[in-house]
């Protein structure tokens, strides 16, 4: 039916154009008017059909682009998600460092730069304190020596929290600061430094110590006011001769603790620090063996390695262990926002350990 109608309309249109060309469309006695009307209707129908076709084509293309945008984005998302999950699985297959779950012992020492280095050591302690506070970790100062103009010549503290050593271990090394000191009258930028050591807290079963060979001394501790200050010998000092299993040499370890006004508590904490110190020296041998096998190593624990620069004029923090690891939010970093930096360092270490795991 539809095909026959198309042929009829086509025949009418041909006859219409032929008569129009011969000027016979207006000759009397012929029913050309009806033919002309039918032909015009056919042209109108064809025009509408073309318009409908173009409109339908545009709508179809629009729908295709919508599908492409919707499903293309979904496909891209799932492809990225699959790659991320594959990477997560590879990381999960890396053997965990048993030290990562332990508490951390941290030591900050002012380096080159005099009073400015002491002030910078104080800034670092505040930075770590804020970082730990934000994570719900507990910070306890065990030993402190204040600088003449503020800050610290050295400060030791314990961080207690789930997996804190595995995160804070990346902070071991030399930290440099570039800024204009408060005492600088000509506006010159000075470079100062402070070293940070992060040790895993040792458990009693980690280290064998003959407590009978420990030599104890007590002394009057200085500090804030109180009736027993400079009257009761609450400060403790221990000396212990330890044989280094790696070298066979004997060396003396000296530890003081004046954290509390309770001598028994200070003895307990000094003993814990001795245990950690010995454990750390043995652990450093383990770290050295690993680093010798790797071309690079993010968390070496080497306290002499220059790991990070804090540039105040530029508001910049650059970590030298990972290429391109620079952030321009120095104020936030010094206020304890170390998350981005530590995440990048963890990713770099995971990549190193993953490569090592594959090659072995």
Residue 237, exposed/middle/buried by CB under 10 A (0-12, 13-18, 19+)?
middle
Task: Give the C-alpha separation, 307 to 32, whole Å.
Answer: 98
Both structure tokens of 315: 């508001």
Q: Which backbone phi and psi does 28 adopt, to 5 degrees? A: -70, 155
Q: What does the pLDDT look like over 200-219, one tens digit per residue? A: 887 655 677 888 899 998 88
Mean pLDDT of the chain: 78
Q: Which backbone phi and psi does 82 adopt, to 5 degrees? A: -60, -45
Cα atoms found within 13 Å of the Cα of residue 197, Cβ hemisphere only = 18
State yes or no: pLDDT of 282 exceeds 50: yes
Q: What does the pLDDT look like over 64-102, one tens digit per residue? A: 677 767 776 777 777 788 877 776 776 666 667 778 889
Q: Which backbone phi and psi does 17 adopt, to 5 degrees? A: -70, -35
Both structure tokens of 148: 């003449």
Mean pLDDT of 311-332: 95
- What pLDDT, on a 0 to 100 scale, did the predictor assign at position 98? 78
Quick check: 299 and 305 in contact, CB under 8 A?
A: no
State yes or no: pLDDT of 225 exceeds 50: no
The percent of residues above 90 in pLDDT, for the chain, comes to: 32
DSSP helix/strand/coil, 187: coil
Min mean pLDDT across 69-73, 215-219, 257-261, 293-297 is at 293-297
Using pLDDT thresholds of 50, 70 and 90, give the confidence band for residue 124.
very high
Q: At 198, which helix (H) or strand (E)?
A: strand 190-200
Pick the residue with more confidence: 285 or 189?
A: 189
- What pLDDT, on a 0 to 100 scale, did the predictor assign at position 39? 59
Selection from 213, 174, 211 nearest residue 191 by Cα = 174
Mean pLDDT of 270-293: 74
State yes or no: pLDDT of 10 exceeds 70: no
Pick the residue with more confidence: 96 or 314?
A: 314
């Amino acid at each position: 039916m539809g095909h026959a109608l198309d042929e009829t309309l086509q025949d009418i249109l041909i006859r219409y154009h032929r008569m129009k060309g011969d000027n016979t469309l207006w000759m009397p006695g012929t029913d050309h008017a009806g033919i002309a009307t039918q032909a015009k209707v056919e042209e109108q129908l064809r025009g509408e059909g073309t318009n409908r076709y173009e409109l339908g084509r545009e709508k179809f293309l629009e729908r295709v682009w919508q599908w492409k945008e919707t499903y293309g984005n979904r496909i891209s998302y799932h492809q990225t998600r699959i790659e991320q999950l594959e990477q997560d699985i590879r990381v999960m297959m890396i053997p965990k460092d048993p030290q990562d779950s332990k508490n951390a012992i941290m030591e900050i020492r002012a380096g080159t730069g005099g009073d400015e280095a002491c002030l910078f050591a104080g800034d670092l302690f505040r930075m770590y304190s804020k970082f730990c506070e934000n994570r719900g970790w507990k910070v306890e100062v065990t030993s402190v020596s204040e600088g003449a103009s503020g800050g610290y010549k050295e400060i030791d503290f314990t961080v207690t929290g789930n997996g804190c050593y595995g995160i804070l271990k990346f902070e071991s090394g030399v930290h440099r600061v570039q800024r204009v000191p408060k005492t600088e009258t000509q506006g010159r930028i000075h470079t100062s430094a402070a070293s940070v050591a992060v040790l895993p807290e040792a458990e009693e079963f980690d280290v064998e110590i003959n407590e009978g060979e420990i030599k104890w001394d007590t002394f009057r501790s200085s500090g804030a006011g109180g009736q027993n200050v400079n009257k009761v010998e609450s400060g403790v000092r221990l000396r212990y001769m330890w044989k280094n299993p790696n070298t066979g040499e004997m060396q003396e370890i000296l530890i003081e603790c004046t954290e509390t006004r309770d001598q028994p508590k200070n003895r307990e904490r000094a003993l814990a620090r001795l245990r950690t110190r010995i454990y750390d020296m043995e652990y450093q041998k383990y770290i050295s063996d690993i680093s010798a096998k790797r071309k690079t190593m993010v968390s070496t624990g080497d306290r002499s390695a220059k790991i990070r620069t804090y540039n105040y004029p530029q508001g910049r923090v650059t970590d030298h262990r990972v290429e391109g690891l620079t952030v321009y939010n120095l104020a936030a970093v010094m206020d304890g926002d170390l998350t981005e930096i530590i995440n990048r360092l963890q990713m770099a270490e995971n990549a190193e350990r993953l490569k090592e795991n594959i090659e072995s």
